[in-house]
Amino acid sequence: MVVSLGPAGALLVTKDRVRQIPAPPVRPRGTVGAGDSMVAGIVLALQAGKDLETAVAYGCVCGAAATLHPGTSLCSQEDVELLTKIGNS
C-alpha cells in the first residue's frame, strides 16, 4: 500500500516493512494533479522493472514535479528529470 503524504513524500507499507519515502523539496505553485502524477510515476517505474521502493521514490518525484506549475497540468518529463538530477547531486 502506498499513502501519499503530500510534501512529506509517501508511506510504503508491505507485509514485511513500513518505510517513509521522502519527496524532493520544492516550492509548490499548485497541487492539482500531483497525486495522479505520483501514481503514474509508480506505475511507469514498475512497468520498467524497478523494485517497489524505487518505483515509489520515482512516483514522489513525479508528484513533486506536478506542483512546480500552477493550474491542473500533470508533471512534465523535463521537470521530473530536473528534480532527479538535483536529488542525485
Domain boundaries, the chain: 2-88
Per-residue pLDDT band at 73 (split at 50, 70, 90): confident
* Domain spanning 2-88, CATH architecture: 3-Layer(aba) Sandwich (3.40)
pLDDT exceeds 90 at position 85: no
pLDDT number for residue 89: 62
Annotation says 51 is catalytic: no
pTM for the predicted model, two decimal places: 0.93
Which of 16, 36, 51, 79 is catalytic? The answer is: 36
pLDDT number for residue 37: 96
Per-residue pLDDT band at 40 (split at 50, 70, 90): very high
Proportion of the chain in helix, strand, coil states, percent, rounded to 5: 50, 10, 40
pLDDT exceeds 70 at position 3: yes
Backbone torsions φ then ψ of 31, nearest 5 degrees:
-120, -5
